[in-house]
Amino acid sequence: MVIDGAKGIEPRTRKLFEVCRLRDIPIITFINKMDRESRDPFDLIDEIEKTLALDAAPVTWPVGRGRDFVGTIDVDSGGVRLLDGDAGSAGGLRKMSVADIAVLNPNLDAAALGAELDLVRGACKRFDPRALARGTSRRSSSAAH
């Protein structure tokens, strides 16, 4: 499922989601267009959880937004994938500190990025590949759908 970073969940996406849910089809959600003006990622997660009754488990987190977007960071490992290809081989992750990432773009606030990552790691569910394979990433309160 792809969600627009500015628009959030659109009507056609919601319909597709309902079809997947009825059939217990595993759903992975991608939020795209973070390199453009977009909504706050926490607001998007909140919309996904409330509107679709899913437990969101972020695997990656945007590093910057809009013009300041430079790539993504793996929530668990801290590996960074940069837009400019500076992460090494295609698709490769590079271990960097939040301060190192902020050096890449002086408009990034290293303290704010670090706080966001701490919040994601502490408040969001961890990704569970078994739950995904079963198609059971929905909240228990909505299991009787």
- Mean pLDDT over 127-140 rounds to 72
Strands 60-63 and 71-74: antiparallel
Whether the CB-CB separation of 33 and 5 falls below 8 Å is answered with yes
CA end-to-end span of the chain, whole Å? 19
CB-neighbour burial class of residue 25 (10 A; exposed 0-12, middle 13-18, buried 19+)? exposed
pLDDT tens, residue by residue, 37-90: 999 999 999 999 999 988 899 999 999 889 888 889 999 888 888 886 544 444
Report the predicted TM-score, pTM, of the whole model to 2 decimal places.
0.81
